[in-house]
């Protein structure tokens, strides 16, 4: 059983969803990134996504784009991403990389998979890679026991959902809206229906992302999903903080609020 599978199984035993947090590598600096994520893990985050900074982040909203631009301007490269993965994995939280496909393809599929595994990473989320374009990626990750996560959206047909489910082996990422990432005042009403459609074709965990920013929203999503994914809210908390220490306090507080939410979502 993979580290991801163990984490989801433990959450199921507690009758709760998992809390998944996203932060770009190198944000707000290469030095401060891992301690900030460690503060999030200490306060209830179960699984971590490390964003691989990319110059054309089509799915990312303005908050994450700002963070990624800062990482790129500071010269963050894939080697820094792997060091970040290693540091975060040291907290004990299963750690994935979330990356657009082009940087992985340019770096080398096997090389990327080997280095991720060596760093202690457990999987990769590829938001713009389709199953039809993924045979080499599937073979490389299968050979290295790296979990793959593909996305579905409210617009996905039943056939597309079944195909995505057949090639994913970490969890299914259900994007709750058709827009870009970013905290919202409410979660799309399409999310519960999308999760239900995915559950018809797979027993894999289904996690909902795009928009969650409060404990109340996390509780709502945790009522029907296996995982609650939060990114922009953590990034904004750091951007709004006057210093790294205050940023750590802000993300720790937010993580605690969200963790309490996922734990009461089914009660």
Q: Which residues have a catalytic role annotated?
A: 49, 60
Report helix angle 190-199 to 158-167, nearest 10. 60
Query: In the structure encoding, which two tokens stand for residue 138, read together?
Result: 């599937």
Closest CA to 123 of 207, 210, 193: 207
- The set of residues, in sequence order, having a beta carbon less than 8 Å from that of 214 and lying 6+ positions away, is 233, 257, 258, 261
How far lies 81's CA from each of 40, 78, 112, 174, 219, in Å? 18, 5, 11, 24, 31
- What are the residue ranges of helices labelled H in 74-226? 78-89, 101-107, 109-118, 135-144, 158-167, 190-199, 215-222
**54: helix, strand or coil:** coil
Query: Cα 63–64–69 angle (5° rounding)?
Result: 105
């Amino acid at each position: 059983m993979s580290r991801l599978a163990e984490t989801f199984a433990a959450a199921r035993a507690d009758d709760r969803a998992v809390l998944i947090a996203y932060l770009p590598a190198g944000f707000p600096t290469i030095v401060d990134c891992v301690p900030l994520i460690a503060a999030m893990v200490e306060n209830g985050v179960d699984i971590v996504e490390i964003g691989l900074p990319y110059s054309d982040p089509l799915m990312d909203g303005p908050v994450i784009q700002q963070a990624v631009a800062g990482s790129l301007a500071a010269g963050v490269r894939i080697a820094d991403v792997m060091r970040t993965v290693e540091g975060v994995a040291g907290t004990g939280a299963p750690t994935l990389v979330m990356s657009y496909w082009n940087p992985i393809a340019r770096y080398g599929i096997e090389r990327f998979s080997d280095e991720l595994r060596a760093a202690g990473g457990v999987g990769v989320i590829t938001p713009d890679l389709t199953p039809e374009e993924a045979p080499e990626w599937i073979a490389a990750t299968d050979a290295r026991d790296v979990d793959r996560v593909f996305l579905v959206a409210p617009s996905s047909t039943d056939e597309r959902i079944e195909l995505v489910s057949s090639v994913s082996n970490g969890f299914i990422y259900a994007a709750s809206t058709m827009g870009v990432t970013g905290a919202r005042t409410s979660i799309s009403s399409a999310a519960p229906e999308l999760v239900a459609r995915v559950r018809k074709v797979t027993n894999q965990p289904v996690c909902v992302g795009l928009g969650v920013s409060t404990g109340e929203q996390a509780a709502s999503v945790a009522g029907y999903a296996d995982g609650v994914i939060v990114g922009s809210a953590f990034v904004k908390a750091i951007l709004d903080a006057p210093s790294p220490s205050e940023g750590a306090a802000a993300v720790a507080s937010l993580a605690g609020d969200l963790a309490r939410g996922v734990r009461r979502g089914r009660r």
